[in-house]
Structure 1
Amino acid sequence: MSSSSFIFNIANKGLRLETANDVQKLFSDSKIEELKELVLTSNTFGIDASKALGGLLSRMKNLKATGLSAIFASRPVDEVLIALPSVFSPLLSLDSLIELNFSDNAVGAQVYRVLVPLLSQLSNLQIIKLVNNGFGPEAGKAIAEAIQQLASKRRESGRPSALRVLLCARNRLEDGSASAWGEAIAAHPNLQKVKMSNNGFREDGIKAIAKGLAKCSDLRYLNLRDSTSRNEDNEDDPEESRGSWLLADAIRNAKRLEYLDLSDCYLTDVGSLEIVNALGENPYPELHSLLLQGNDMNEGHYEKLLTVIQDTLPKLKVLVLADNDDLEDNEAIDALKEFLEDPTRKGQLITDDQDVDALIKSEDAKDETTETRFVGDVPIEVPPVKKEEDELDELAKLMGAKLKIENQVCLFHFLLKAGY
């Protein structure tokens, strides 16, 4: 457990908690009301343990970050659906909460009914992490619509979106939910990190996501790995309407990009060139990692890339080109390698699959850490507590409207005399 009195961290202990007593013992030395960060990753909670955890959560009024990934691993779905409300319901009253991590609880589509209230009402949320939950298209659409409502709730109170990080990867979202996700992303133009890899998006899905991303000019991190930006049966469509073109437009609008992963997105030679051209049109002074694995790139792309890196990507350190064409005995590849690995830049060109796997594993591990890089300085606004006289006035208005009484002052005095 973390030594800080504000942090409770038992990540990866592998505990199997069944009873209320199990949970009480775990927190026996903690000052519950002072906790700001709770990390329970990879310790599983049964029904009774979840009820006890919920009781403790209701007392954590200063809680900012919840690490609830893999807290129901190995639990039957029926058990999880009973346990979930006990954990989630107390979170609805935590106005201080800015990070929710519920990744790696692959309980399937049914869980969205419990998630939707959280994602639509916790208006101070800055970080949402939902990786490997097994949503599928229907539940994925409902989750996206809840995140749209989150933006609406902020707008209604005259505040811009607080959401900075949105991770929803490995969830089989597919094209059926992509339109809703595109609208959800567009509704939060302050997004800085978006990871929606391995969701089975095809071209229509990527186009919808790209249109949403085009609204996010402050985007720093984008990962759409393992999607399909060009369907072969759409070859008669004009190039400017293709998925890779819309992705390029989103990139043109995100000049603060730091990390871009479009690996295995089937950009093809034409789409890959458009992406490279987009990166070369304006400086991207902070872009340090560019992953373009498996996109049918060839020598012509590598030559163009070298020029682009020299001209507009001054901080690029990692370039991934594995599983493309013409990687061996190629002067352009040799030139890229020499330029990136120069002692003044200290970068690397990755063309080996094993090196790519290590890089991706390292990036995925970062998803499990409490977010600090992309947390914004967003004021947390707590709804004012209604005074007793405010509640009485509200009651008078409601009753006056119901009874069609215009003079509510009279009704107010009537209620006072009646003992309210």
Structure 2
Amino acid sequence: MMSGSGVSFAGKAQKWEDEEKVRELVNAINKCKNLEFLDLEGNTLGVEAAVYIGKALEKHPELKKALWKDLFTGRLKTEIPAALKKMGGGMMTAGAQLTVLDCSDNALGPNGMVGLEDLIRSPVCYSLQELMLNNCGLGIGGGIMLAKALLDCHASSSKAGKPLALKVFIAGRNRLENDGGTALAKFFETVKTLEHVAMPQNGIYFPGITAISKGLAQNPNMKILNLNDNTIRYKGALALADAFESMPNLLEINFGDCLLKNDGTMVIAEAICDSHEKLEVVNLSANEMKSDLGLEVVKAVQNKANLKLLNLNSNEFGYDGKELIRSVMESGLNPDALDSLSDDESPDEDDEDEEDDGEECEEEEEDDDDATGEYNSNPEDEDNIIVEESDPNTIDLSSLQMNNNGPATIDTFFNTPHPSLELFNNLSDTNKLDAFRKHLDCYEGEDYLIGLVFTTMKFAALSKESNEALDLAKAFFDDCFKYAAEKSQTNRVKNFFLIQMGLLKSEDKKFVPHFNVESSRFAIEESLKIDSIPQEIKETFKTFLIVK
């Protein structure tokens, strides 16, 4: 139940279109002598109705909490910013001083941020302590706009003698990616007062995680950090471990489903082992860690007297590993804190037996990989790097469309399965070759090779329409085989390209090439003219191309 006095129409499923439809709400606002909060969650608001709400808010400088979750269901993207501007304008006229602004679960996108920018920059938000924009589809562009507005607010509020001191920042499920996360990291570094940051499910990889970590390191009062379902991996874990040194008051960390694997998990375990005694919740679920790393995590929390929950579910412990982890946990301070260890992702015992059947079996498996092009590697062994091809049926088409129509950045192109020519042409980098190579340099081993071959195919698929894309395809084709030679992966990479061009049959009968075949073949033919490509590679491709 909401504390203080105010008006709540939460969950009434009202459709406010015009003055008549919104009259009941406006009358309630006008009659409230001390409007500390206005809760409109679970209704749908049109522009005309928002005009009358804004006028009513002009009389309430005491308003502290604007609770506007799930307020624009079914509204056009042009309606949302206009409605927000009207209500924000009312608060600015009144001289309100918000402490809480919650616009979560609204399809704001970059357009919706236009409706919030002026409000966030205004004196209304100088006093803001909690900002919630969860599940708003901000995208990279919206994230950058939000960061700039917050930085402007901090600058102007500082000049006014009362710097913005935001404590809670919630922005999960917004497709911020690296560029959006990096932009917000600059605000984190500036504000220095954050205590609770939640940015799950944003498609952020370790370059963005690294920037965010550096920003958060300037916030010594951090208590809750949730980066669930982003891609932290080992390098991101190193950055977070460095940041932890400046966060002695951490109560909760949630890095579930972040591909930490064994090496990243070890970094996090070591970072919290001899410090952070206040921790109450540690979530490292679904990180593909083995049982020995699960034990390291358990050992790292043995001195946490306040621990309430240790979530290690959905890892790869196996039956014996889970029993050992439970046993060690039961001997510690908080035996009941360990979650159920459900949904173990260990390979089936039958599969493990097959892998141990001897050299002959291993050779057959390698032949299968070469024939299908569906590569599956052991990340612990870089000499066995193989390339995974995504199942086209699992591609999130809404995300794909967003990326192709979203801000044109190297990061967006890199993370879009089939980037468009328009996206490529709109990239602002003057030297795209250096920019893409620099981006790939952030990865290593398995991830580097996977990124390299798929980026090559993306350029190749655009090569008949763009000479610039063709030049990049040729340069990256050369890079691929130089790196493949270093890692003894030449045959596998060669077969991958042949299968993607429809020149080599896949053992998977359902497989179809995922890239433009005609354009890809053209790019490969042109790439074979490069002097540094080994002659045996040239001969192989020429043989297949001749008999196509």
TM range (shorter): 0.7 to 0.9
Measured in 1, the distance between the counterparts of 2:313 and 2:342 equals 6
2:341 match? 351
- 1:87 Cα deviation (Å)? 1.6
2:282 corresponds to:
290
Please list, as runs of the form range in 1=range in 2, the aligned pairs for 1:83-98 lying within 5 A after superposition.
83-93=83-93, 94-98=95-99
1:153-178 Cα offsets, whole Å, 9 max, x none, are 23323444421111111111111222
Q: What SS does structure 1 have at the residue aligned with 2:288?
A: coil
Q: Which amino acid aligns with 1:324?
A: N
Listed as ranges, the matches of 1:148-163 within 5 Å are 148-163=151-166
Equivalence for 2:192: 189
Q: Which residue type is aligned with residue 315 of structure 2?
A: N
In 1, Cα distance between equivalents of 2:173 and 2:180: 14
Q: Which residue of 2 aligns with 1:363?
A: none
- 2:315 is the alignment partner of 1:324: yes
Matched-pair contact (CA < 8 Å) for 2:44–2:70: yes
Does the 8 Å contact 2:228/2:257 carry over to 1? yes
Structure 2 matches for 1:259-278, cutoff 5 A? Answer: 259-278=252-271
Q: Give 1:13's aligned amino acid.
A: K
Instruction: Go from structure 1 to structure 2 and tell me whether the alpha carbon gap of 1:155 and 1:14 turns closer, same or farther (over 3 Å shift).
Output: same
Within the candidate set 194, 201, 206, 1:203 is matched to 206
The one-letter code matched in structure 2 to 1:143 is L
Deviations 1:228-257 (A, max 9, x none): 123xxxxxxxx7xx2110111222321211
Alpha-carbon contact 2:81-2:112 (below 8 Å) kept: yes
Deviation at 1:274, TM superposition (A): 0.8
Corresponding residue number in structure 1 for 2:250: 257
Correspondence for 1:402: none
Structure 1: tracts of 5 or more residues without a match: 231-238, 355-420
User: By how many angstroms is 1:97 displaced?
Assistant: 1.1
Sort the Cα spacing of 1:54 and 1:315 in 2 relative to 1 into closer, same or farther, 3 A. Answer: same
How far did residue 275 of structure 1 move?
A: 0.4
Letter in structure 1 aligned against 2:115: V
Deviation for aligned residue 1:332 = 2.9
**SS of residue matched to 1:38:** strand
Pairwise CA distance, 1:33: 4.1
- Greater shift after overlay, 116-125 or 64-73? 116-125
How much has 1:339 moved relative to structure 2? Answer: 4.7
Q: Deviations over 1:338-367 (max 9, x none)?
A: 357x8x76434232259xxxxxxxxxxxxx
Shift of 1:329: 2.2
Aligned residue for 1:408? Answer: none
1:62 is aligned to 62
Deviation of 1:305 after TM superposition, in Å, equals: 2.3
- 1:4 and 1:223, CA in 2 relative to 1: closer, same or farther beyond 3 A? closer
The residue that corresponds to 1:367 in the other structure is: none
Change (3 A) 1:126 1:4: closer
**Contact persistence 1:195–1:224 (CA under 8 A):** yes
Native 8 Å contact 1:33 1:62 kept in 2: no
Amino acid at match of 1:199: N
Displacement of 1:276 = 0.6
Distance 2:59 2:310 in 1: 47
1:83 aligned partner, one-letter code? A
2:97–2:126: 8 Å Cα contact kept in structure 1? Answer: no
Equivalent-residue separation in structure 2 for 1:168 and 1:92 (angstroms): 24
Distance 1:351 1:144 in 2: 38
Q: What's 2:301 paired with?
A: 309
The separation in 1 between residues aligned to 2:162 and 2:49, in whole angstroms, is 37
Report the residue type matching 2:283 in the other structure: L
Contact 1:97–1:125 under 8 Å retained in 2: yes
**Alignment partner of 2:197: what SS?**
strand
1:337/1:349 contact within 8 Å kept: no
Rounded Cα–Cα distance in structure 2 between residues aligned with 1:127 and 1:5: 17
Contact 1:134 1:172 in 2 (8 A): yes
Note the C-alpha offset of 1:113.
1.7
8 Å CA contact retained: 2:100, 2:128: yes
Give how far 1:182 is off.
0.8
Check whether the contact 1:327–1:333 (CA below 8 A) recurs between aligned residues: no
Q: Is 1:248 the equivalent of 2:255?
A: no
Number of aligned pairs? 339
TM-score, normalised relative to structure 2: 0.58
Q: Which amino acid aligns with 1:256?
A: N
2:119 corresponds in structure 1 to 118
| 2-structure distance, mates of 1:125, 1:277 | 35
> Residue in 1 aligned with 2:176?
173
1:220 pairs with 2:220: no
Shift of 1:147: 1.1
In 2 relative to 1, CA 144–26 (structure 1 residues): closer, same or farther, beyond 3 Å?
same
Structure 2: gaps (5+ residues): 345-548
The reply on whether 1:279 has 2:269 as its aligned counterpart is no
- Partner of 2:82 in structure 1? 82
State the structure with bigger RCO (CA 8 A, min sep 6), 1 or 2: 1
Paired residue secondary structure (2:339): strand
Q: 1:113 to 1:6 in 2, by over 3 A?
A: same
- Note closer, same or farther for the CA distance 1:5–1:347 as it changes in structure 2 (3 Å cut): closer
**Partners of 2:318 and 2:69 in 1: CA distance:** 39
Map residues 19-58 of structure 1 onto 2, 5 A cutoff: 19-29=18-28, 31-58=31-58
Amino acid aligned to 1:189:
K
3-state SS of 1:89 partner: helix
SS at match of 1:319: strand
**In structure 2, distance between residues paired with 1:32 and 1:245:** 52
- In structure 2, the CA distance between the partners of 1:304 and 1:118, relative to structure 1 (3 Å rule), is same
SS at match of 1:328: helix
Look up the equivalent residue of 1:177 and give its one-letter code.
G
Write the letter of the residue equivalent to 1:9. S
- Distance (Å, rounded) in 1 between the aligned partners of 2:37 and 2:64: 6
Percentage of pairs with the same residue: 29
Whole-angstrom CA distance in 2 between matches of 1:318 and 1:3 = 28
- Residues 22-50 of structure 1 show CA distances to partners (whole Å, capped at 9, x for unaligned) of 22223435533411011110111122211
Quick one: which amino acid aligns to residue 210 of structure 1?
S
- TM-score, with length taken from structure 1: 0.75
Displacement of 1:110 in angstroms is 1.0
Structure with the higher helix share, 1 or 2:
2
Aligned-partner SS, 1:128 = strand
Cα distance, 1:15–1:170 mapped onto 2, change above 3 Å: same
Alpha carbons of structure 1 residues 211 and 4: separation in structure 2 relative to 1, 3 Å: closer
- After superposition, give the CA deviation of every residue in 1:374-393 in whole Å (9 maximum; x if it has no partner): xxxxxxxxxxxxxxxxxxxx
Deviates more, 1:11-20 or 1:327-336: 327-336
